[in-house]
Amino acid sequence: MKLDGMCAVITGAAMGIGLATVKRLLAEGCTVTIWDRNEGALKDASVALHAPAGRLFSHACDVTDRARVQELAVTARTEMGKVDILINNAGYVSGGNFLDRPLEDWERTMSVNVTALFYTIYEFLPAMFERNCGHVVNISSAAGTIGVPGLAAYAASKWAVWGLTESLRFEAVNLNKFNVKFSSIHPSYLATGMFEGAKLGFPGNLLVPVVKNHDVIAKAIVESALKRGRYSPKRPWTVGLAVRMRGFLPDSWFQYTLTFLGIPKGMSTFRGRGK
Residues labelled catalytic? 154
How would you label 70-80 residue by residue, b for 16+ Cβ within 10 Å and e otherwise? eebbeebbeeb
- Between the alpha carbon of residue 136 and those of residues 46, 47, 62, 169, 198, the distances in Å are 23, 27, 19, 10, 28
Are the C-beta atoms of residues 41 and 64 closer than 8 Å to each other? no
CA separation for the pair 96, 152 (Å, rounded)? 8
Using CA atoms, how far apart are residues 118 and 259, in angstroms rounded to an integer? 34
Neighbours of 212 (CB within 10 A): 11
Q: Are 121 and 71 in contact (CB under 8 A)?
A: no
Q: How many helices (H) and strands (E) does the chain have?
A: 10, 7
Residue 257 has a CB neighbour count (10 Å cut-off) of 16
